[in-house]
Structure 1
Amino acid sequence: MAMGEVKEVKLYGFLLSGYCTMVHHALKLKGVAYEYVEEDLQNKSQALLELNPVYKKVPVLVVDGKPVAESLVILEYVNDMWKDPPLLPEDPHKRSKVRFWADFVYQKLVPGIYAIQNTKGEEQQKAIQELIDHLSTLEDGIQKDLFTGGPFINGERPGLLDVIMGSAYGGFKYMEGLTNAKIIEKERTPLLCSSIDAYVDLDVVKETAIPDAMLQELIRAMREKASASSGA
């Protein structure tokens, strides 16, 4: 379907959700005009519950009244609905590799971030090291399977993995502020770092960046919560 045939596009999301940030970025990279609806996750709207009755979560993209849920599904939908610029390579084998590493991020990196946030002491240090190891695996895999030069993982223009990893930039900053550990750095993962740097410098990405003051407040609140729960 050509972009001109779409009458209405709405995105139901939450400002601090990295999953929602991915969809924001994909739509903006495609030049899609859309209405954004911010959800209160403690008091979800009836509209959200009806649009995503199975998981009852954000993001949900609604195109001409038809809802699409789950971020990775939405990203592929956006790529198929609006063809230019493409987020996935034309070559089927390269496409499969992008999907493989995108799934790796969801299966390994995302749980790793939650593990760091929800643990303390030695258990947290172990979770940090595991996440660092997963990032190194991703770096090696992208270098071997996908990278052909250029500022982005995808080459001269950002692709699906750039959207996924670039959208995680705020999450990495948050984790590093929370733990005082350097999780992603150029010495270990130069390709990931350089591609993320190029991505977050894009104007369409800056438009949806979480304000640094808000990020610092989140870190402060989480540290206070952790301190209170430990009796310190």
Structure 2
Amino acid sequence: MSKEDLLLLDFWVSPFCMRVKIAFAEKGLAYISQEEDLLGGKSELLLKSNPIYQKVPILLDNGKPIVESSNIVYYIDEKYANQNPLLPSCAYGRSRARFWADFIDKKVYEGGMAIWRSTKADELELAKKEFVDILKKLEGALGDKDYFGGDNFGYIDVIAISMTCWFHAYERFGGFKVDEECPKFDAWIKRCLKRESVASVLPDPEKVYEFVVMLRKMHGIE
């Protein structure tokens, strides 16, 4: 492998890695993926490339590390701006995209984790309520548009859709259905899944569920 290659330090079930791969697919870019064993031991390359957080994804471009998934997607879109732009062209649209990407990063994964890590009925009920409220806020931002940016699949869609392959696990442990709670958001998920860039990247939700079952056992949750 030459330094000129785009190398992604990856983990198959990480929604944060998935969004980078979806961005690559949308741009039609070739890259090399190096799967990390996050549970068994992180590689020296990972530790050296992201010494602050020591987590994936990491994009190595020309040997230079770019970290944090939403930042990596932003970097890819900026560097390859002429290839199917993901971010809006106007400053307001770009600021809105960054705001919602930040909201998704701070709320969705943590909200879902609160569901599968709950050990008491009242904790679970609260976690489920808060998670549905997060999705309803996103549903409000989506409005009646096909995608968050309007007619075209874009930056916010890339950031958000990767999270949804974990929803089946949240539904199983939480005892709810996204399509019943947030039908417009569910319709958006189904719309995105028709895109090759998304369908080819997102893993089988049942395999994600099995992974979460394993995580629960690791944390002593039965």
Fold match by TM threshold 0.5: yes
Query: What residue number does 1:136 align with?
Result: 136
Partner of 1:3: none
Structure 1 partner of 2:156:
161
Change (3 A) 1:125 1:229: same
Say whether residues 1:13 and 2:6 are aligned partners.
no
Please tell me whether the aligned partners of residues 162 and 196 of structure 1 are also in contact (alpha carbons under 8 angstroms).
no
Q: Give 3-state SS (helix, strand or coil) of 1:168's partner.
A: helix
Structure 1 SS opposite 2:7: strand
Q: Which amino acid aligns with 2:19?
A: M
Conserved? CA contact 2:22–2:158, under 8 Å: yes
Matched, 1:118 2:113: no
CA separation of 1:66 and 1:125: change in aligned 2, threshold 3 A? same
Tell me the residue number matched to 1:32. 29
Unmatched 5+ residue regions in structure 2?
A: none
Give the superposition deviation at 1:96: 1.2
Stretch of structure 1 that moved more, 158-167 or 200-209? 200-209
Note the alpha carbon deviations across 1:171-222, whole angstroms, 9 max, x for none.
111211233322x22x543432222211112112222221345234335545
In 1, the alpha carbon distance for the partners of 2:206 and 2:183 equals 27
Shift of 1:126: 0.4
Q: Percent identity?
A: 33
State whether structure 2 residue 59 is matched by structure 1 residue 67.
no
Residue-by-residue CA offset, 1:92-132 (whole Å, 9 max, x unaligned): 11211111111111222222112112212110110110111
Measure, in 1, the Cα distance between the counterparts of 2:95 and 2:35. Answer: 33
Q: What is the alpha-carbon root mean square deviation over aligned residues?
A: 2.2
Task: Give me the whole-angstrom Cα distance separating, in 1, the residues matched to 2:55 and 2:208.
Answer: 22
Q: Distance in 1 between matches of 2:107 and 2:220?
A: 29
Match of 2:199 in 1: 206
Counterpart-to-counterpart distance in 1, 2:211 and 2:79? 36
Aligned to 1:85: 84
Distance (Å, rounded) in 2 between the aligned partners of 1:229 and 1:127: 16
Task: Give the residue type in structure 2 aligned to 1:128.
Answer: K
**Counterparts of 2:49 and 2:63 in 1: how far apart (Å)?**
9
Task: Output the CA distance in 1 between the equivalents of 2:49 and 2:123.
Answer: 38
Secondary structure of residue in 1 paired with 2:89: coil
CA distance in 1, matches of 2:141, 2:69: 22
- Contact kept? 2:115, 2:127, Cα under 8 Å: yes
Q: TM-score, normalised by structure 1?
A: 0.85
Unaligned runs of 5+ in 1: 1-5
